[in-house]
Amino acid sequence: MNRVPRFDDPRTGKDATAILIEQETMTHQVRAIILSAVFLTTAAATSIVWAGENSSLHAEGEKAFALGKYQAAENFFRAVLEKEPKNFLVLEAQANTKIKLKKYNEAVKLLDKILAMTVATGRNILVHTDGESEPLEAELVDDNVMAVDESAKDDEAFSEFLKKDYEGPVPHYRVFLKKSGKMKLFLKSRTRLQYSGIPAATREKIAALKSTVMKKSISAQRVKPAAELVALPGGCFQMGSRLGDPDEQPVHKVCLSPFKMAKYEVRQKFFQTAMGYNPSQYVGGDLPVDSVSWEGARDYCRKLGLRLPTEAEWEFAVRGGTQEEYYWGKNMPGNAANFCDSTCDLNNRVANLTDGFKHSAPVGSFPPNPFGLYDMSGNVSEWVQDWMAINENYYVMSPEQDPRGPRPELDACSGATCVGSISITKKIYRGGSWNQRIVDMRSANRKDAHFQLKEDGTGFRCAADRNP
């Protein structure tokens, strides 16, 4: 027999009349309570919204927010969160209030709390029921079992009238209790379910809201873009790799005039301020700009009086005088750069190495190369100036001094008017990224994409001539 827990235990010596009134009221309220339970189920609330003081404070907060009284709303929501720190509905409401008050950093902290919650599977629940001081960990097996409330029948304190009312089947939850390993029925009207996470749709909405807030925060900071260039000596080096892909061969001698290379990938706080937009998928002021087209990269560098590095300059810069496959040596120690490590969501993840970052990392999070340049390999891959030749291998015919890639004259043409009028549409990007494999970070590795493609692993850095 399923012993269904009760609101009040009549054996506690409570006044029988009081119990009667309470039970009678409850009986009439069963439908309403069931409806609210259904609402909670469909809303998949992570924090149960208890009736009483907190929900009225919540309502007052929403009212104040709707009236544009954000200071008051902030105080109401704060009061609720002091008691229910994990109520994601109130966390979201408070974040929106902070945004209105331009307290962006505080808004982000609240949104991060929601994003740190697990996404609800819809099955893992906590059961709050009277007679249990702690919620019970369980899996929801069936959310609508019609069963007779046996507990009412056994109750001697119940009047015949009330027992009669309980004769018919009433809605129950059937749950699997994790601790005892047993199935159990809980009377819906006396039970509240708490889902052990937030719904997937809520998580998506909060992540999008966070991106918006981060961009507002970057705009509010108005950081002046800085080039931070490192002067490189130029000179000759061996470009390409015998161990790599066919397009990296033949290894050939290239000599470069002195030039300057940016120390870091272009940060979003600079890009957004300079360009008035931020295409990045993973938003943060010190994160590298991602999802930027080659044209967007070129335009940013131009705006700062700079230019994209040529492919040869880029490889000279990444090597920093080294001839190994990577600037840190032959093999990957795991913490040299940001690639698709064990925390990465993609299929090409390297399961046994962890670099500390699931997506892009703030620029400069890893050791620099011998030239003092950061994230040349990994983090975001980087657009360079050169087109990728289609039918021939440019390395076979590349000039020794300051090569500029095939068809450099085509750069005069760009944008929508240019598409279709040119036969060459792919620009080269270099260095591998947070969503690629370790081997993609090899110094000699080449990749290409349509010059208007925006990919969440691709960013860039600028370069400049070195004026004597």
Q: How far apart are CA 435 and CA 360, in angstroms?
A: 9
Nearer to Ca ion, 47 or 338 (CB): 338
Can you tell me which of 338, 360, 436, 458 binds Ca ion, judged by CB under 5 A? 338
Q: Least separation, in Å, of the C-beta of 348 and Ca ion?
A: 11
Q: How far apart are CA 304 and CA 289, in angstroms?
A: 16
Kindly list the distances between the CA atom of residue 345 and the CA atoms of 281, 341, 408, in Å, as whole numbers in the listed order.
15, 9, 38
The answer to whether residue 291 forms part of the interface with Ca ion (CB under 5 A) is: no
Nearer to Ca ion, 152 or 239 (CB): 239
Strand extents, DSSP E, 302-425: 381-387
Q: Least separation, in Å, of the C-beta of 29 and Ca ion?
A: 53
Burial class for 42, CB neighbours closer than 10 Å (0-12, 13-18, 19+): exposed
Q: Least separation, in Å, of the C-beta of 374 and Ca ion?
A: 8
Token output for 122? 């819809």
DSSP state of 86: T
The answer to whether residue 341 forms part of the interface with Ca ion (CB under 5 A) is: yes
| Contact by Cβ (8 Å): 252, 456 | no
Nearer to Ca ion, 77 or 395 (CB): 395
Site for Ca ion in 400-419 (CB under 5 A): none
- 438 half-sphere exposure, CB direction, 13 A CA radius: 20
What mask of x and - would describe binding to Ca ion in positions 349 to 368, judged by CB under 5 A? ------x-x-----------
Kindly list the distances between the CA atom of residue 78 and the CA atoms of 63, 73, 82, 382, in Å, as whole numbers in the listed order.
15, 8, 6, 44
Q: Least separation, in Å, of the C-beta of 306 and Ca ion?
A: 17
Nearer to Ca ion, 152 or 262 (CB): 262
Nearer to Ca ion, 84 or 341 (CB): 341
b/e 446-456 (16+ beta carbons within 10 angstroms → b): bbbbebbbbbb
Q: Least separation, in Å, of the C-beta of 142 and Ca ion?
A: 42
Cβ partners under 8 Å of residue 157, min gap 6: 10, 11, 16, 19
The answer to whether residue 431 forms part of the interface with Ca ion (CB under 5 A) is: yes
The answer to whether residue 435 forms part of the interface with Ca ion (CB under 5 A) is: no
Helix 70-83 vs helix 88-100: angle between axes, to the nearest 10 degrees? 150
Nearer to Ca ion, 158 or 294 (CB): 294
| Contact by Cβ (8 Å): 198, 120 | yes
Q: How far apart are CA 290 and CA 149, in angstroms?
A: 59
The answer to whether residue 375 forms part of the interface with Ca ion (CB under 5 A) is: yes
Q: Least separation, in Å, of the C-beta of 115 and Ca ion?
A: 18
Size of the site for Ca ion (CB under 5 A): 11
Q: Least separation, in Å, of the C-beta of 189 and Ca ion?
A: 49
Strands 229-232 and 191-195: unpaired
- Contact window for Ca ion (CB under 5 A) among 13-21, 22-30, 313-321, 425-433: 425-433
Can you tell me which of 8, 24, 60, 245 binds Ca ion, judged by CB under 5 A? 245
Q: Least separation, in Å, of the C-beta of 222 and Ca ion?
A: 26
- Contact window for Ca ion (CB under 5 A) among 15-23, 75-83, 230-238, 371-379: 371-379
Q: Which positions lie near Ca ion, rule CB under 5 A?
A: 245, 338, 341, 355, 357, 375, 379, 431, 434, 445-446
